[in-house]
Amino acid sequence: MSRRPVIAGNWKMHNLQQEAADLTNGIMQELRAEDKAALPEVVIAPTFTALYAANKALKDCGCGKVRLAAQNCYFETKGAFTGECSVEMLKDAGCEYIIIGHSERREYFGETDEMVNKKAVKILAEGLVPIICCGESLEQREAGVTDYHIASQITKALRGISAADVAKSIIAYEPIWAIGTGKTCDSVEANRVISMIRNVVKGLYDANTADAIRILYGGSVKPATIKEQMAQSDIDGALVGGASLTADSFAQIVKGAM
């Protein structure tokens, strides 16, 4: 099955509104000459306060080459949940994708596999696409439990979700030890883990679902690494961190995935 690549930029806690608008416009300018049909799905994930500015820039352009994501959500529709944003609110802000389960959310804010599952269920119910993150720490890798740990994360994240909804979803494998460190997981090893994730999905559902789901690599992705990563059999794109904060480097990664 041919899977359309996805290049998603996670801006994390960077960019005020004008900076977000400028970066969005810069990315679109860098991609202006590219055929929309030939591009991967290009996704940007500003912080909550910059979603409006980025969405306005996307609408003003009208080229449809870049789509909007949020970096997190809450699984309740509304209520006394101070500081949270519901999926409905993010959909209203123009988001089509939501990143959930990022290692920073898990480590710093106590996000659990159960919470990731509840968020995924809610995102899919609202017609949006979850980008479900998974990955191992350096300690887990050195202990030889990478596959077990990630298989457990995926199994719990997808609990109760239909095969049709899983096929629409995106998984991002992010070895925690390679995020923001400048270290990149060897492409062959990253592909091995991603192939293992696909096999977990196959075991939970079926071969068609496993073939349909897009699985990205995330962890210090750079313009210099993307072509080798995309040449692998099971890597369907990238969740980009620091290199998504400048239009030129992010656009180079997008073009490298074509």
Is residue 149 part of the annotated active site? The answer reads no
Q: What is the DSSP letter of 40?
A: P
Q: What is the DSSP letter of 49?
A: G
CB 150, CB 156: distance < 8 Å: no
From the list 30, 41, 136, 174, the catalytic residue is 174
Distances (CA, A) of 233 to 16, 164, 217, 224: 38, 23, 12, 19
Cα 237 → chain centroid: 9
Q: Which helix (H) or strand (E) holds 130?
A: strand 129-134
Residue 155 neighbours by CB distance under 10 Å? 15
Is residue 34 part of the annotated active site? The answer reads no
What would you measure as the largest C-alpha separation in the chain, in angstroms?
50
Q: What is the DSSP letter of 31?
A: T
> Which residue from 79, 80, 115 is spatially nearest to 98, judged by alpha carbons?
115
Q: What is the DSSP letter of 35?
A: -
From the list 30, 41, 102, 111, the catalytic residue is 102
Q: Find residue 44's DSSP bridge partners.
A: 9, 68
Which residues have a catalytic role annotated?
102, 174
